[in-house]
Amino acid sequence: MIEGFIRVASATPKIKVADVSHNKEAIIKNIEEAEKQGARLIVFPELALTAYTCADLFHQTILIDKAEKSLDELAEETRGREIVVVVGTTWYTDHKLYNAAAFIHDGRILGIVPKKNLPNYGEFYERRWFTPGNEDVRFLKHRSKATGEIYEIPFGMNILLEAEDLKDFVLAAEICEDVWVPETPSTKHALAGATVIANTSASDETVGKDSYRRELIRSTSARLVAAYIYTNAGDGESTTDLVFGGQDIIAENGSIVKEGKRFETGLYIADIDLQKLDQERSRTTTYPSVSEELREKYEIVRFSFEPENENVKKIEPVEADISSEGPVHERLFAEAADLRRYVDPKPFVPGNQQERTRRCNEIFTIQALGLKKRLEHIGCKTAVIGISGGLDSTLALLVTARAFDMLGLPRENIISVTMPAFGTTDRTYNNAVTLTKRLNATLREINIKESVLLHFRDIGHDPEDHSVTYENSQARERTQILMDIANQTDGIVIGTGDLSELALGWATYNGDHMSMYAVNAGVPKTLVRYLVKYVADTSEDNALSSCLYDIFDTPVSPELLPPTGDGKISQKTEDLVGPYELHDFFLYQIMRFGFSPKKVYMLALKAFSKENQGDSDNAEIYEADEIFKWLNKFYWRFFSQQFKRSCLPDGPKVGSVAVSPRGDLRMPSDAVVALWIEELKELR
């Protein structure tokens, strides 16, 4: 698969109780359809060949013999196919019957994994028919009832399938109840190196059980840092006393990538990211190394997805409908368009409104508690903030107000300083004034035009030269004023710069780059917007809400260049450095997972496509050339501006990505970007 992805499928076919031939044909149809769609692994429910609800029919030899023969026939159907099948079946050996999961591929049964934890409580009576499985693997001599071929099959819980032609694909299996117990087999599987866990399940429906099941699978994938494919029995099982509703789940490292509909049968396909799992295990130092001692207790079955025999029945996968213009390599369009998973264009912002509200409140609390502790520790009763009427300073002021409330300090001790200059517009000025007054902070207005012009004369700079000197002189003048007012009032300066600006180095060194405590340092720009909107949505002060909504709609700008003739903002940050939602997406993929430029670009093509977002308005749609342009810009700025991040003031981390030199990012200021840019050039 592409860039570390592999396509997997979870299938719940409509079966008939004890009708093994019917069930086999239903399974084959799902295999064929999954392969058409490019899947390399498909998982079926527990006892899918016979049905889970056969009860005492499991004592009938005719049923057990038919199941074994059908499994051999099913294996023969996989000959020449590039797909691994995991199917639930009975398995009889040494006078005992087992509830098992069979690995089959390219004409053979590669392994039989028996279920260890057999429920025998409530509605379950599995010990009446089955024997618990053992971890130890032994080899069973097997004659195929489909072809007559004789070969050995490993039998036992400790079996791993390793793909020789796909790095990081290591498959293991457990069965239904195995994942519900305190010490799950999958835990040992993962410690032995498994990256993908298949679970053939038959979990009946009771009220509320779906939520518990979903959280169980999601959290198991997170704990194991693995992909987890949970396939559940559904329509067709006996309803004498129970109902089985399906609910297939494909999870990856704590996220649900795909979930089937309850009370429906179906085939559910998604791409899982093996490279991401490998990166996550690598960077999480508490995740143990693969235990060689443990692996010695496992049978490692090595195979290749590519069939070795000539009797190929392979069905050609459906080709993605790709059309592209321009210089970007067509393969990346195909990879992005064909990727079977949703790629969140705003990974820092929860898409669900309820979750977003909860998260915003949590982030505000983290920011405020960080500032509260700092003020408490130094005995400081005053805070100084440069208020511009923009998003970042607004958030900093809101956080400071909450911290003061926590400490029982009067809000008038928050000194909100507005410093109009050459680029200030009426809109931002009025919002800064209104915001300060509605929060009951103390407003100070200091116009810096005269002092900056005097500085221009001192250094011999022409005021008509709107270069970086023109801009940075204003930024540093503002910081000097804030620092001096803090000295006057025995206070500290609260920094306003956010995580996105720090990643891009979009700050004036020793200007807005500097403060005594940077409350926004862990908050990316895309999230800043929603935090401000959250306060607007929840505030009972209508005037404050109205002001915050207008700030939310104001273009991001440092306002260092003169406004347009009609008094509007002329200097829009995103016109200069690029859209922040793109940069935040790049930052997340690069910092959180260490992905290569090629993979980041491919994921961005998917994330910011119309097909990925559907009818939602979650993000803008960007063309490939625009994404490529700003990704180049991101890498250049991220590497060249590290020196600014090397001396950042303190500030709280609020999410999984941060750039503090004392925390998440230990990066040399002189690192060369050439390697990353070279890979981007290869795309052209």
Give the whole-angstrom CA distance, residue 444 versus residue 156. Answer: 75
Main-chain dihedrals φ then ψ at residue 469, nearest 5 degrees: -65, -40
8 Å CB contact between 17 and 23: no
β-pair partners for 204: 244
Give the whole-angstrom CA distance, residue 246 versus residue 265. Answer: 7
β-pair partners for 104: 85, 109
β-pair partners for 232: 201
Q: What is the DSSP string of 139-207?
A: EEEEE-TTT--EEEEEESS-EEEEETTSTT-EEEEEEGGGGTSSS-HHHHHHHTT--EEEEEE--B--T
372 in active site: no
8 Å CB contact between 257 and 250: yes
β-pair partners for 113: 101
Provide the residue type at 571 as one letter. Answer: Q
Give the whole-angstrom CA distance, residue 254 versus residue 225. Answer: 8
**Unique residue bearing structure tokens 């979650």:** 618
- For residue 658, the 8-state DSSP code is -
Residue among 54, 176, 380, 547 flagged as catalytic: 176
Q: What is the DSSP string of 491-551?
A: EEEEE---HHHHHHT-S-TTTTT--SEETTTT--HHHHHHHHHHHHHH-S-HHHHHHHHHH
**Long-range own/partner contacts, residues 563-570 (CB < 8 A, 24 or more apart):** 563/423, 563/424, 563/425, 567/425, 567/426, 568/425, 568/427, 569/423, 569/425, 569/427, 569/428, 570/423
Residue among 3, 24, 35, 46 flagged as catalytic: 46
The gap from C-alpha 629 to its chain's centroid, in whole angstroms, comes to 24
Give the whole-angstrom CA distance, residue 484 versus residue 519. Answer: 20
What tokens were used for 213?
């099941």
Residue among 24, 115, 346, 598 flagged as catalytic: 115
Cα separations in angstroms, 389 against 232, 307, 397, 399, 572: 54, 64, 11, 15, 14
What tokens were used for 405?
């409330």
8 Å CB contact between 157 and 168: no
46 in active site: yes
Q: What is the DSSP string of 81-94?
A: -S-EEEEEEEEEET
Q: What is the DSSP string of 253-283?
A: TTEEEEEPPBT--EEEEEEEEHHHHHHHHHH
Other Cβ atoms within 10 Å of 656 Cβ, number:
12
Cα separations in angstroms, 195 against 223, 402, 410: 12, 44, 54
8 Å CB contact between 126 and 175: no
Closest CA to 30 of 53, 14, 51: 14
Q: Which residues are catalytic?
A: 46, 115, 176
